[in-house]
Structure 1
Amino acid sequence: MISKKILYLLIALGFSVQLYPQKTKVVHLSGTDAANTVEWDFYCTDGQNSKKWSKIAVPSNWELQGFGTYNYGHDWKNKDKKLGLEHGLYKHTFTVPENWKGKTINIVFDGSMTDTKVKINGKSAGTTHQGGFTRFKYDISKLLKYGQTNLLEVDVAKQSENESINRAERQADFWIFGGIYRPVFLEILPKIHVTRAAIDAKADGALKVLIAVNNPKLNYSVTVHLYDLKGNKIHTEHLGYLKKGNSEEIFSTKFNNIKSWNPEWPTLYDITFELKHENSVLHEVTKRIGFRTIELRQHDGFYINEEKVIFKGVNRHSFWPETGRSLSEENHLEDIRLMKEMNMNAVRMSHYVPDKRFLELCDSLGIFVLNEVTGWQDGYDTLVGPKMIKEVVLKDENHPSVIIWAHGNEGGWNFANEKWIHYWDIQKRPVIYPWLLRNGVDTSHYPEYNYATGRLVSGIDPFMATELLHGLYDGGLGAGLDEYWRNYQTSPLFAGGFLWAFSDEAVLRTDKPGHVLDGDGHHAPDGILGPHREKEASFYTIKEVWSPVQISPVTINKEWNGTLILNNKFIYTNLSQCSFNWKTLKTEIGSNEKQIVGTGHILGPDTAPGTASKIKLDCRKALQDADIFEFTAKDHNGKELYTWSWPIVQPDKKATELLRLISNTAKEISIKELDGTISASANGVQIVFNKKDGTLHSVKNSKGEISITGGAVPAGSTAQITDTKWGKDEDGNFRFEILGDNYPERIIWKFHRTGLLQIEASPLQKKMEGIDYIGISFDYPEDKCIGVRWMGRGPYRVWRNRIKGSNFGVWEKQYNNTVTGETFNNLIYPEFKGYHGNLYWARLKTTETPFTIISETPNLYFQLFRPKEPEHASSKVSPLFPMGNLSFLYEIPAIGTKFKEPSKLGPKSQKGFYSGRPGDENYPIKLWLDFRAEN
């Protein structure tokens, strides 16, 4: 019981007496996220739908609601672009219960772009808040009418009166929006309350907590309770006292039997602090935390819980096409799930702090976070910078996922402000400067492949590119990643990298007819994913390269003994905690039917992180009647890490199946010569050749014409025809031979009595350098092609430096004209056109009769038409294609990034080279073309 003397004292001091625990209560005035909004009154001063009161969803960016002016951050440099200088005026009424009187009521804005003035019942709530990405609050207890309706008025200016904010936030390489785009809520606190509970929870269970109170006029005690997420109490302890006159105090303790937090095992706890006076609990605060220890060891690297970390990360903007930077729960969940699916363990917040909910999900699902103070390529001044830093740290300080602070980006910093990060952060997390070698970390952006020579080899600091392989359209990202990763991992100083960027930032233009999606030319289509998270090819390349289980190179055929070497690239997980499956498949030429011949399941071997183990699969019998072997690795949650696949047989063996099936359909061949052509007909197929050069003139079957023409012609070389000859061979098949003075020196057509057409182009013999592509080509009208089914690598197209992620199998896709990173309103993946790897056979579905092409040549690339180039593409991301649109090639080109030509991205990104010796038994290009009407 509280004595009368103390009771009178508290009343005299103006305090209400709380006999029961008082928890913080939150009441939203806006919606909780972009999917759950509340309408407020709204007036826009300029641009779309301006100068009239209407309604707007809150939270939102007003441009996406049809107001104001759209701007990309570079627009300020363009005198022809109108810069949005509008204000948004908001009004909203709300009721406050009578029984809230005597409590502390804060109004909290999680994000408002950018200068924001707040009034309650016509009176200012406080000074104008500046900066568009941080949480801010006002104590409005004395401005409220309790038991009555209250009026909230907010004036949001799109541009700031502080020029350093405009330079840091508004003149950046991203879309510039306006509005209250994150939730607005009331925070109801007891009269005496905890204003801050900053927690430093170490992996060994050690706990340090800073407790701050709003009114230090009494002695307060602090008690801690720790719970697991099932609500089981693990520990209770009295931590100590906040003595009268002290507004804050640091307490320490240690918990036993704690499970640490990491991205592979993201164990979380609920921790509650009770602020007491005598026996009364005045305020109870609960936080969700994880125990983990962060170290940046000089000249070594980052260690989390005593384990050295290599970050496999990506740069993520808070962005959705229809809602801008105002996001939903599902937006956050989807982004993190996609990162985890790509086997990423880290994300960089580019270039501002994210929603609170995003970090909560990173905590629970397991992702390392580099949290960034805004500043694209210019920093805050020393007036607003310390305020921004305080707001960043205090909002996000207790998230276990946040392990590094990034202070601006590419020059977007003010070194004088750095001291405030550790002033506020009791964890003293590492502070990096993305782009610089500073504070013991080299974060240089967009290194070339050989950059390691200057930094990793001769340097002594951990190297971690906070922007790596800048994507643009279909370039970068997956292209070159495998070699970069293999090369950089040879150094003990390699700390990982963060790809630029997660998704294309194409925004819905409510100000344009048709409400199109706009990526601002080549500025925003940088993603691994499309704007609605459509998976581009690089998604799967990254997934394979960054899989925490890697398989040492192996040849799989019918004689394989079943041995695989598994390399454990996890940081905290033993492979014994994983599981593995395999299966063998039998296929039929031209069909997408696959028969499962054999399957198997094994538990993971005892293999610690950073080591390898040999396993042996009992699959020898299952290999004998199969074409494809698949192997799947799953983590301890059953999530697929990757599924690898290999051909069991070579293409020439698969081609013999076709010959066996139709060998009994042979007919006599009839030959007919005209002035410039010669035709051969058998079994319902007529082939007409050009006498002069041996190219196809026309093809017909019993159902009509097939429009393949113009082949075979050299692709990647120039050859003059020196001789042609034709006639029947000893088996009665028609044979047409073409000789040339360069590759291919010999092409032999053979039209079989079965109606099959065979072509053989002589193998590479002469030395060749600087090859973009080399092989043979044909023409077929693109407008007559409606789909393709094929056996080979797929389902996505490949480049020379992006083979991984395309698995061997039987695939099918319909014709589309997707231009990666540009045709946002009609993105269909996989793209139809481009290069495809390791062709065995392909069946083209057409408006005419479908036809089938079968390869006997190992590792042959297949070009399926020529993709349309994006409007703003440069040569770096515009690889060359042969003149023909159906090509069969030994070599194809690599693709570059936004800033780097392919030649800067490593050995596999170089142009091709061939050198042989007399007597080499190289592989010619050997194809079968099946034009039969019933094929």
Structure 2
Amino acid sequence: MPTSIDYVTDPSPGHGALPPRAWYADSSANSVSLNGTWDFRLSATADAHDDSFASPAYDADGWSSVSVPGHWVMQGDGAFGAPAYTNVLYPFPVDPPRVPDENPTGDHLRVFDLPGDWPGDGSAVVRFDGVESCARVWLNGTELGEFKGSRLPHEFEVGHLLAPTGNVLAVRVHQWSAGSYLEDQDQWWLPGIFRDVTLLHRPTGGVRDFFTHASYEHTTGLGTLRVDSDVAGRITVPELGVDVPTGEPVTVAVEPWTAETPRLYDGELATAGERVPLRIGFRTVELSDGLIKVNGTPILFKGVNRHEWHPEHGRALDLETMRRDVELMKAHNINAVRTSHYPPHPAFLALCDEYGLWVIDECDLETHGFVEQGWRDNPVDDERWTPALLDRAARTVERDKNHPSIVLWSLGNEAGTGRGLTAMAEWIRARDPERLVHYEGDINCRDTDVYSRMYADHAEVERIGQGVDGGPEKRRRLPFIQCEYAHAMGNGPGGLADYQRLFEKYERLQGGFVWEWIDHGVADERHGYAYGGDFGEELHDGNFVCDGLLFPDRTPSPGLIEFKKVIEPVRIAVDGAAGTVQVTNRYDFRDLSHLAFDWTYEVEGEAVERGTLTVPPLSPGETADVKLSAPATSDGYWTVRALDGDGREVAWGQNSVAVVRNTATLFGGHTSPADGVITLGPATFDARTGDLRAIGDVTLASAPRLDVWRAPTDNDDGASWQSGERLGLLWRKFGLHRMQHRVDGVELDGAALTVRTRVGPASRDIGLRANYRWTADERRLRLTVSVAPEGDWRIPLPRLGVRLGLPVGDLGVRWFGGGPGEAYPDTRDAARLGRWESDVAALHTPYVRPQENGARADVRWAELGGLRIEGEPAYALTARRWTTQQLDAATHRTDLTPGDTLWVHLDHSQQGIGTQSCGPGVLPQYRLTPGPAEFSFTFEQLA
């Protein structure tokens, strides 16, 4: 006889649940939300208790409670266990379909009454929108069934069991099950009932399932609507004058739905017993001429991957959080989202319909952990699992099929290949031939309609664009997307603009999706935000779970600001010499009539003239040259902006301002060494070491000296599985984090002080000769640094510049240069020339794992710590109240404590960032290869 928990390790999807159907939130039928506080009991194993708790007579006195929706490990202050994060590895022995005896199991109880107006006729279902990972359900002591498929809805017939009062809904949830093998999705493992639970009245003659087909013929402007319904009824769309029976097509003139123009028509499906509102978007998706086309036009995805996340509630998201995500995406020019790696809460898709986002809707499937054994025993190639795979495909498609935003169905992610995936693709195509099928792991495109890759480097992407990448003939005829690229972990991603230039250059390249939307940091008093390993997990993947364009609290990172600039739908190229601006429409569908343009003429960051610009309503792909008004002065620069109707900046452009290198040397009298001090203009030096002690009344805490070290970024360190150059490790191997300084001479030469030094790491013969030449006048002090490498340098430098320490006083900072945020050689498109102000604390970018951050690029001058510092050429400015070594040693935000010294970095150059935390490294043009260099700074005490 099978035991009562055999269902936990059964590969089948479960039993008792109703067939999947379209999801809708609004209806004329009654419903009762069962969200709220539930009684809760946690057990260490799946069989610790019998089923008696499901009885209406059971006394749950002494139980704890949890909130539903919610994950129990995110509640109870640790009493209910803790989150655990792995990227690829299963956190239990790989022995499919078996799971460990140590299987945390949460029993949930909810007692509810029916509202007084609950109808006495018809039936009812209880719907679970998301439970991880396996659930068994009872109502009033009668078992309804059990199910797997954590991010998918399951409904059970309950009308015959309901009582007016005292109904007891009992749910036993197991953290591990056979279904866990299908849900290895690079995220926190978080058991619980984390989406809504709802009781739905099903009136006699009510709507069961329906499928809205709304196509658009771009050559005629006509849309064809047909709504197939299991229960006959009528379809009305008042705005279009439509009133037809279900199943009958009707063709009318319509405005099409696109992600740029998300036109929705309000309609209604009415059957004898129920009315359901419809939101209809007319659009046609096709694979034509080797391209993904919507309404006859190829589209370019400027997208992100989005896991569901909230730092306090995990994957239990409320509507306003979902709305915030969509609004942030639209505000940052993002036009597409891949729902990695499962269908999102359906309300999110409704928001995508409303606001306008292309969606790749991904099935709840990933078996990545089987890569560790060469994909042996992979469930997607094991017929025992095929029913579960088909069930997941059906529950995805049936739930979401009425959303116009969805243009591709994705079979899942990183699950290898096999017969099960082929069966899924065949079922989806038969059920919905009006959309395309995506799956990245199908490298030969047997089952897919698009050639999809992850983290292909720029060179390979260009070969694909040129059609010289090889591969099967079918693949060569398909469009290409990067379903994941530009890994947004920590400082970065770098190289976004270089990718975008390729996407826009080659028609076959239809864009990509940055990995990913948000850092999955868990709010934590100890660390600020916790990541893998912070909860004592024996097996974890550290901060690899924090790889988003948003910080956990949904604050945009510099990476998101850069991405917004790179993917602007309007290109603005200002030619200052000619006094013209070239405007190019990069939208796929929309003209520019909805945008207003303005200009500002600035001198050293101060606006001296402003005006508006008349730009024709250019159609997609069109370009126009527009004349700018002649400025009253010729020593400034233009900034031109495109603004939407709400005044939000959509795009901007500036003309470059050349930095004229001033090679003049300052001269002022100096005294001979006296009492160990050299005086030069406003400055005093240590006569023995040549160290600068003070500039006027500003006493330095640490003299300027050559600095090459930075706290390695996640992208510097690279990923453990990568065989190529991982610079963070190489820099440490070569000792660049412990450079030693030697003074070889302090020389007075007329009106100049020259200090000759050598800087190098212990145990290595490589080094850098650095000569500091100081000159001055009565007010100003000038430093010229000449650097020459020695030895066999096989690696780039992290940075090249000088570091000095100033006493903490006024912590305000003003500068003229790039801003307002940080920028590095391959992340600088969003850096806008201007005059900026900040305080020192705000210059720091609070990455969840501290690392190099905060550099402001192209600084002409800066004022901080009582000094004005000019650079020739422009420099990168970083200022913080902890050393690079302290930043390097920190593992969490809370490890950084401000000190009494303001550490200022004046960098001549920096190594680029790249995206090697998962993708390719720094492109050659952004590498800081050691070579001769010379740069200067002029210091002046502020009045």
TM-score normalised by structure 1 residue count? 0.78
Q: What residue number does 2:434 align with?
A: 428
Q: What whole-Å deviation, never above 9, does each CA across 1:233-270 have from its counterpart, x for those lacking one?
A: 42133337xxxxxxxxx4322122x1111111111012
Opposite residue 349 of structure 2, the aligned amino acid is L
Equivalent in 65, 80, 96 of residue 75 of structure 2: 65
Counterpart secondary structure, 1:192: coil
Deviation, 1:861, is 3.1
Q: What residue number does 1:524 align with?
A: 545
Deviation, 1:83, is 6.4
Equivalent in 625, 638, 641 of residue 614 of structure 1: 625
Q: What residue number does 1:260 align with?
A: 256
Opposite residue 524 of structure 1, the aligned amino acid is V
Q: What whole-Å deviation, never above 9, does each CA across 1:330-388 have from its counterpart, x for those lacking one?
A: 21111112211221110000111111111111111111111010112355621222222
Counterpart secondary structure, 1:780: strand
Counterpart secondary structure, 1:487: helix
Opposite residue 280 of structure 2, the aligned amino acid is I
Contact 1:443-1:464 at 8 Å conserved across structures = yes
Pair 1:855 & 2:871 matched: yes
Deviation, 1:430, is 0.7
- Does the C-alpha gap of structure 1 residues 799 and 832 become closer, same or farther in structure 2, counting only changes over 3 Å? closer
Counterpart secondary structure, 1:152: strand
Contact 1:724-1:737 at 8 Å conserved across structures = yes
- Does the C-alpha gap of structure 1 residues 435 and 600 become closer, same or farther in structure 2, counting only changes over 3 Å? farther
Contact 2:816-2:836 at 8 Å conserved across structures = yes
Give 1:642-721 correspondences, 5 Å limit: 642-645=651-654, 648=657, 650=659, 669=669, 671-674=671-674, 677-680=676-679, 685-690=682-687, 695-699=690-694, 701-702=696-697, 705-711=699-705
Opposite residue 532 of structure 1, the aligned amino acid is D
Q: What residue number does 1:495 align with?
A: 510
Q: What residue number does 1:880 align with?
A: none
Give 1:164-175 correspondences, 5 Å limit: 165-169=179-183, 171-175=184-188
Opposite residue 494 of structure 1, the aligned amino acid is L
Give the Cα separation in 2 of the matches to 1:713 and 1:898: 24
Give the Cα separation in 2 of the matches to 1:54 and 1:535: 37
Q: What whole-Å deviation, never above 9, does each CA across 1:865-917 have from its counterpart, x for those lacking one?
A: 637237689xxxxxxxxxx9645444310123244586x453434344879xx
Give the Cα separation in 2 of the matches to 1:639 and 1:872: 37
Equivalent in 839, 859, 876 of residue 839 of structure 1: 859
Deviation, 1:789, is 2.5
Q: What residue number does 2:322 align with?
A: 332
Give the Cα separation in 1 of the matches to 2:787 and 2:134: 69
Deviation, 1:191, is 0.8
Deviation, 1:815, is 3.3
Give the Cα separation in 2 of the matches to 1:928 and 1:425: 71
Equivalent in 28, 41, 45 of residue 43 of structure 1: 41
Contact 2:235-2:268 at 8 Å conserved across structures = yes
Equivalent in 740, 757, 769 of residue 781 of structure 2: 757
Pair 1:274 & 2:270 matched: yes
Contact 1:201-1:291 at 8 Å conserved across structures = yes
Equivalent in 567, 571, 586 of residue 588 of structure 2: 571
Give the Cα separation in 1 of the matches to 2:772 and 2:387: 76
Give the Cα separation in 1 of the matches to 2:209 and 2:700: 76
Give the Cα separation in 2 of the matches to 1:409 and 1:649: 48
Contact 1:566-1:614 at 8 Å conserved across structures = yes
Counterpart secondary structure, 1:383: helix
Tell me whether 109-118 or 756-765 shows the greater mean CA deviation: 756-765
Contact 2:753-2:775 at 8 Å conserved across structures = yes
Equivalent in 54, 57, 65 of residue 55 of structure 1: 65
Give the Cα separation in 2 of the matches to 1:714 and 1:325: 42
Q: What residue number does 1:464 align with?
A: 481
Contact 1:470-1:898 at 8 Å conserved across structures = yes
Counterpart secondary structure, 2:387: coil
Counterpart secondary structure, 1:45: strand
Deviation, 1:614, is 1.0
Opposite residue 673 of structure 1, the aligned amino acid is P
Q: Aligned pairs, how many?
A: 806
Counterpart secondary structure, 1:203: strand
Q: What residue number does 1:418 align with?
A: 424
Give 1:771-790 correspondences, 5 Å limit: 771-772=796-797, 776-780=801-805, 786-790=811-815
- Does the C-alpha gap of structure 1 residues 292 and 747 become closer, same or farther in structure 2, counting only changes over 3 Å? same
Give the Cα separation in 1 of the matches to 2:167 and 2:685: 86
Question: Which runs of no fewer than 5 residues in structure 1 stay unpaired?
Answer: 1-21, 32-37, 215-219, 228-232, 241-249, 276-280, 588-593, 729-733, 874-883, 916-922
- Does the C-alpha gap of structure 1 residues 109 and 287 become closer, same or farther in structure 2, counting only changes over 3 Å? same
Deviation, 1:854, is 1.1
Contact 2:549-2:560 at 8 Å conserved across structures = yes
Give the Cα separation in 2 of the matches to 1:24 and 1:669: 90
Give the Cα separation in 2 of the matches to 1:85 and 1:570: 50
Pair 1:484 & 2:494 matched: no
Q: What residue number does 2:161 align with?
A: 143
- Does the C-alpha gap of structure 1 residues 771 and 897 become closer, same or farther in structure 2, counting only changes over 3 Å? closer
Opposite residue 253 of structure 1, the aligned amino acid is V
Q: What residue number does 2:456 align with?
A: 447
Q: What residue number does 2:288 align with?
A: 297
Q: What whole-Å deviation, never above 9, does each CA across 1:117-164 have from its counterpart, x for those lacking one?
A: 22222222x32122111111122111112x44422222222222xx2x
Opposite residue 111 of structure 1, the aligned amino acid is G
Counterpart secondary structure, 1:85: strand
Give the Cα separation in 1 of the matches to 2:298 and 2:255: 18
Q: What residue number does 2:193 align with?
A: 180
Q: What residue number does 2:563 align with?
A: 542
Q: What whole-Å deviation, never above 9, does each CA across 1:504-537 have from its counterpart, x for those lacking one?
A: 101235xx86885335523201111111112221
- Does the C-alpha gap of structure 1 residues 927 and 820 become closer, same or farther in structure 2, counting only changes over 3 Å? closer
Contact 1:474-1:821 at 8 Å conserved across structures = no
Question: Which runs of no fewer than 5 residues in structure 2 stay unpaired?
Answer: 1-25, 50-59, 95-99, 369-378, 470-475, 534-541, 710-735, 759-766, 893-901
Give 1:547-562 correspondences, 5 Å limit: 547-552=568-573, 554=574, 556=576, 560-562=577-579
Q: What residue number does 2:714 align with?
A: none
Give the Cα separation in 1 of the matches to 2:366 and 2:796: 40
Give the Cα separation in 1 of the matches to 2:599 and 2:69: 48
Q: What residue number does 1:878 align with?
A: none
Give the Cα separation in 1 of the matches to 2:71 and 2:507: 45
Q: What residue number does 1:134 align with?
A: 152
Q: What residue number does 2:14 align with?
A: none
Counterpart secondary structure, 1:620: coil
Give the Cα separation in 1 of the matches to 2:41 and 2:569: 52
Q: What residue number does 1:349 align with?
A: 339
TM-score normalised by structure 2 residue count? 0.77
- Does the C-alpha gap of structure 1 residues 376 and 597 become closer, same or farther in structure 2, counting only changes over 3 Å? same
Give the Cα separation in 2 of the matches to 1:86 and 1:239: 48
Contact 1:373-1:407 at 8 Å conserved across structures = yes
Deviation, 1:472, is 2.2
Counterpart secondary structure, 1:856: strand
Contact 2:111-2:166 at 8 Å conserved across structures = no
Q: What residue number does 1:246 align with?
A: none
Deviation, 1:274, is 2.9
Opposite residue 780 of structure 2, the aligned amino acid is L
Give 1:201-280 correspondences, 5 Å limit: 201-204=214-217, 205-213=222-230, 222-227=233-238, 233-239=239-245, 250-256=247-253, 258-275=254-271
Deviation, 1:465, is 1.1
Q: What whole-Å deviation, never above 9, does each CA across 1:436-492 have from its counterpart, x for those lacking one?
A: 33224111111112112553332422110111122322143xx11111221343322
Counterpart secondary structure, 1:389: helix
Q: What residue number does 1:726 align with?
A: 748
Q: What residue number does 2:15 align with?
A: none
Deviation, 1:58, is 1.9
Deviation, 1:816, is 4.0
Give the Cα separation in 2 of the matches to 1:97 and 1:121: 19
Counterpart secondary structure, 1:202: strand
Larger radius of gyration: 1
Opposite residue 184 of structure 1, the aligned amino acid is V
